[in-house]
Amino acid sequence: MYDRYTELENLVADPAVVSNPYQYGTYMKERGNLSRLVGKYLQWQKTLHRKEEAGKVISENGGDKELQLLAKDELAAAEKEEERLVEEIQELLLSKAGDAHRGVIMEIRAGTGGDEAALFAADLYRMYTRYANIKGWGIEVFDSSSTDLGGFKEIIFSVTGAEVYKRLRHESGTHRVQRVPATETQGRVHTSAATVAVLPEIEEVEINIDPKDLRIETMRASGPGGQKVNKTSSAVRMTHIPTGITVKCQDEKSQHKNRAKAIRILRSRLHEHVEEQERSKREKARRVQIGTGDRSEKIRTYNYPQNRVTDHRINFTLYDLENVMLGHIDELIGQLLAFEKEEQLKQLAATV
């Protein structure tokens, strides 16, 4: 990359290139994209030189204790600087994931296990809500279908804030719970599941949805105990005809607001649909690292009798389930991100 940057420096100074606005602009843009990384690389080179010089002073001046002490301090400072720069360079090399800083739309659905699965879906929603509060993120519910026992058959909500998608994208998949349900009279441990989907929220300018491709139906909202039930036709069902993707929103009393939320969900699902098609095309060549994000993939088990949470993708276990359910999931997420980074660096090295 440094070699290419040096080449570009010469190209943008070439009169033949300067006289061609399109070519000049292309080269300047490429140069700009490389400049930050190259700057860090040059700092790193200088730091390595400082380390080398300090090492020479230490080895060549054994009798001068004061000079030795100064050189050792310089060496320690250079090593600390090197560590910081290597970390920053790695982040820049891996920062191609453009979705990392997006907000997300999360969909949690009860899986196998009946009422207990719905209660677990509600527990997961509360876990993510608490985590969002800890992080200072915003939560907005788009649609939900609750049960009489306080669980959720389904809940769809957005999360907005700094690095939301980066930290939550690996939550997609099947979450399994092992515990004694509140309805169990004989104390037997049951296994239930809920699925989580995490979709990056897509801006309107990124996906153009032709109104002619939409079928929009309105109906009266339904659900247990809702104040707006059967009073107004505020609920909206939106179908994207070319793909068959359907979205329903009824959480707001206003039909206009439900339409706005439905189109946000639809944009994210269409983006995921396109991404899934691309993934399928290269599936045979792609090496799965941290899981596909497929909701059918079992990613994590929450075992209440053992106070244990296990992430099966990286074989990592925490014996702190109570705190995890209170939203303290940074350690789990940190382990996933560290594993992902290590695998990405291996792939990057293999391509050089």
Architecture of domain 211-279: 2-Layer Sandwich (3.30)
**Average model confidence (pLDDT) across the chain:** 85
Fold classification of 100-205+292-345 is: Alpha-Beta Plaits (3.30.70)
Beta strands in 220-258 (DSSP E): 235-240, 245-249
Best-predicted range by mean pLDDT (78-92, 224-238, 254-268, 300-314): 300-314
Spell 103-112 as b/e; 16+ CB within 10 A means b.
Answer: bbbbbbbbbe
Q: Read off the pLDDT of residues 246-300 as tens digits, 9 standing for 90 and up.
A: 988 887 778 888 888 888 888 888 888 877 776 665 454 334 445 544 556 799 9
Q: Which of 226, 102, 225, 104 is nearest to 157 (CA)?
A: 104
Q: Which of 183, 130, 124 is nearest to 302 (CA)?
A: 124
Provide the 3-class DSSP secondary structure of residue 84: helix
Radius of gyration over alpha carbons of the chain, in Å?
27
CA distance 76 to 55: 10
Q: Which residue has the tokens 């519910």?
A: 141
Q: How many CA atoms lie within 13 A of 346 on its CB side?
A: 8
For the entire predicted model, the pTM comes to: 0.64
Helical spans, DSSP H, in the chain: 2-11, 15-18, 21-60, 65-93, 114-135, 164-168, 255-281, 321-325, 330-351
DSSP 319: S
Q: What are the φ/ψ torsions at residue 174 (nearest 5 degrees)?
A: -95, 125
Q: What are the φ/ψ torsions at residue 158 (nearest 5 degrees)?
A: -105, 155
Residues in the chain: 352
58 pLDDT higher than 90: no
Asked whether the domain spanning 211-279 has the same topology as the one spanning 100-205+292-345, the reply is no
Q: What percent of the chain has pLDDT over 70?
A: 87
Q: Which of 24-28, 149-153, 192-196, 208-212 has the lowest mean pLDDT?
A: 208-212
Q: Would you report the helix, strand and coil content of the chain in percent, each value rounded to 5? A: 50, 20, 30
So where are the chain's domains?
2-93, 100-205+292-345, 211-279
